[in-house]
Amino acid sequence: MTQDEQDMWMTVIPKHVTGLAVFLWVDDIGIERKTKNNEPKLAFQNNYSDIRSENMIFISISKTPKILGCNSKIIISDTDIQQIKQFIILNFDLLMDYWKQKIDIMDFMEKVIFVS
């Protein structure tokens, strides 16, 4: 599987599911991804469009989430980035279970903690 094909294996998590101002993408391959930088991560939309955008920024799934190798200017507010980090912290165990493929996307969606 090429890198481009692997990049396609991400599921969109809509704003109404997370309570965030932007869409998130979670990795469907997770731990099985065979790439050099296979650390737990997700992506967030780098704009406020209601249409899913390909302008994504990667962020680590950890107890202290960090932006990963951003090549473009971050457009969304610092407040929204902090909310994304809070979402990751609140849902850390759930995100890791999904990344490790212990649960499927339906389980994830049912158990996700909404950020308000």
Task: Give 41-69 pLDDT, tens digit per residue.
Answer: 899 999 999 886 778 899 999 999 999 87
Average pLDDT over residues 91-100: 94
Give the start-to-end residue ranges of the domains of the chain.
3-108
Q: Which amino acid is at 79?
A: T
19: left (phi over 0), alpha (psi -120 to 50) or beta: left
Average pLDDT over residues 87-116: 93
pLDDT of residue 54: 72
pLDDT of residue 92: 97
What digits encode the pLDDT tens for the residues 8-37? 568 889 999 999 999 999 877 766 665 666
